Amino acid sequence: MTSTPGTFPTGRIALAAAMGVALAAAPVAAADFYAGKSIDMLIGAPPAGGYDIYARALARHFGQNIPGKPSIIAKNMPGAASGRAAGFLATIAPKDGTVIAAIMPGAVMGPLLDEKAEVLFDPTKVQYLGTSNNGTRVCVSRKDAKVKTFDDVLTQKAIFGGVSANDSTRDYGYMHKHTSGALYDVIAGYNGTNDIGLAMERGEVDGACGWDWASFKAQRPDWLRDNKVNVLLQVSLEPNEELTRMGVPHIWKYVKTEENRKVVELVIGQQVFQRSYIAPPGVAAEQLAILRKAFDDTMKDPNYLADAEKLRIDISPLPGTQVQQIVQKLHATPKDIVEKARAAIRP
C-alpha cells in the first residue's frame, strides 16, 4: 500500500469512513427505535383513582419526549396493589422497552413487608424510570362524623375504609392502630380510594387513612372547597407545608417510642417514590436510557405541567436512578425492623 505525503492510504480512508458511518449510525438507530411504534402503559390501579389520573396525564405527554414520538396506550391492570401489573411486566411482557407500568409503592414494599404475599415480581430487579410524586398521605373523616380530629380517633370508635393488603388505605390504617393507638375498625375490600369516597358519602364508613393528599385533592376537590371533610393527620417523613398551614398535625406527634418510629419510617419510606414508572428487567441499556431521559424531560415539559395544574395534581419527581437506589436500600433493612413493620400493618 502506498500513499503520498500528507494523505491517508486508500485502505485507511475506507476503514475510517466505515468506522465513521458505524459510529454515526449508532445514535441515529437509538433515536429511531421508537419511530412508528407504540408503548403500552399498564396502570396497576382501577380507573378514576389517583394513580389512574397521574398515569394518564403522563401518557398524554410522555411520547412527545421520546425520539420517534411513539403513541402511549394506557391500560388499567389493577390487582394485588399493582402487583399484578408489575408481575405481568416482569415475566410476560416484551423486554424491548415497548411495555412499561405505573405502580403503587405497595407493590414495591409488599414483598418486603408481607411474608405471606404471593411474590409476583422482584422490586429490586425491575428498571425504574422515575417517580412523578414524592407524596404525603392523610387520614380524613366525614365532616359529620364523631371523629373530627386525630385525638378523637384515639378515644372514640369509628369505621374506616380500606382496600386490600399492600394498599396504603389498609396498611396505614392498621399501622396507626398499632403505633399510635387509633381505635377505629378497618373495613377492607373497597375497590380503590374512589370507592372509599363513595362509601363515605353514603355513610358506610366514617373516614380513611393512607389517602394520598395529591390524589385526594384531585378526586374530591369539592370536599375541601365546601368544607365537607376533616383532615385528621398528615403522614410523611417530613411535614407538608400546605397541610401544616392548614393546621393538620404530623404523624410524629403521635409516635411515642423510638422502636415505633423506626417501624413507621420503614413503612412510610415508600412515599419517597409515590408514583413509580417501571420497565421490565432485561430492557437494553440503550432503550432504558431513552425512557429515563424522556421521563425526566416530561417532568419539566410545560404542557405536562400545565395539564397537572389543571388536574390539581402535585409534581415532585425523582429520576429513575435515584428511585432504584432507594428501593435497594429499603430492601436491605435489618430483619428485626422488617418483622416489626410487618406486624404493624396487619390486623
pTM of the model: 0.76
How far is it, in rounded angstroms, from Cα 186 to Cα 178? 12
How far is it, in rounded angstroms, from Cα 52 to Cα 135? 15
- Residue 331 burial (10 A CB sphere; 0-12, 13-18, 19+): middle
285: which DSSP letter?
Answer: H
Are 50 and 213 contacting, i.e. CB atoms less than 8 angstroms apart?
no
Residue 178, helix vs strand vs coil: helix
Cell numbers found for residue 280: 421490565
CB-hemisphere CA count at 13 Å for 339?
3
Cell numbers found for residue 148: 373530627
pLDDT surpassing 90 at residue 158: yes
How far is it, in rounded angstroms, from Cα 241 to Cα 251? 14
pLDDT tens-digit map of 272-321: 888 999 999 999 999 999 999 999 999 999 999 999 999 989 999 999 99
> What are the phi and psi torsion angles at 106 (to 5°)?
-60, -30
Residue 79, Cα to own-chain centre: how many angstroms? Answer: 15
pLDDT tens-digit map of 44-78: 999 998 899 999 999 999 999 999 999 999 999 99
pLDDT surpassing 80 at residue 10: no
Pick the more confident residue, 123 or 11. Answer: 123
Cell numbers found for residue 100: 412499561
Pick the more confident residue, 197 or 7. Answer: 197
Angle formed at CA 341 by CA 337 and CA 343, multiple of 5 degrees: 120
Q: What is the per-residue pLDDT for 31?
A: 63
How far is it, in rounded angstroms, from Cα 235 to Cα 180? 12
How far is it, in rounded angstroms, from Cα 109 to Cα 310? 31
Question: At a CB cut-off of 8 Å and minimum separation 6, what does 161 contact?
Answer: 169, 186, 187, 188, 190, 196, 199, 200, 204, 205, 207, 208
Radius of gyration of the chain, Cα coordinates, nearest whole angstrom: 24
List Cα–Cα distances, 110 to 326, 330, 336, in angstroms: 15, 12, 17
H helical segments located in 33-117: 50-62, 83-91, 105-113
Task: Quote the mean pLDDT of the chain.
Answer: 90
Residue 339: its H or E element: helix 335-344
pLDDT tens-digit map of 77-131: 999 889 999 999 999 999 999 999 999 998 999 889 987 767 789 999 999 999 9
Q: What is the per-residue pLDDT for 117?
A: 64
Neighbours of 286 (CB within 10 A): 13
Q: What is the per-residue pLDDT for 26?
A: 41
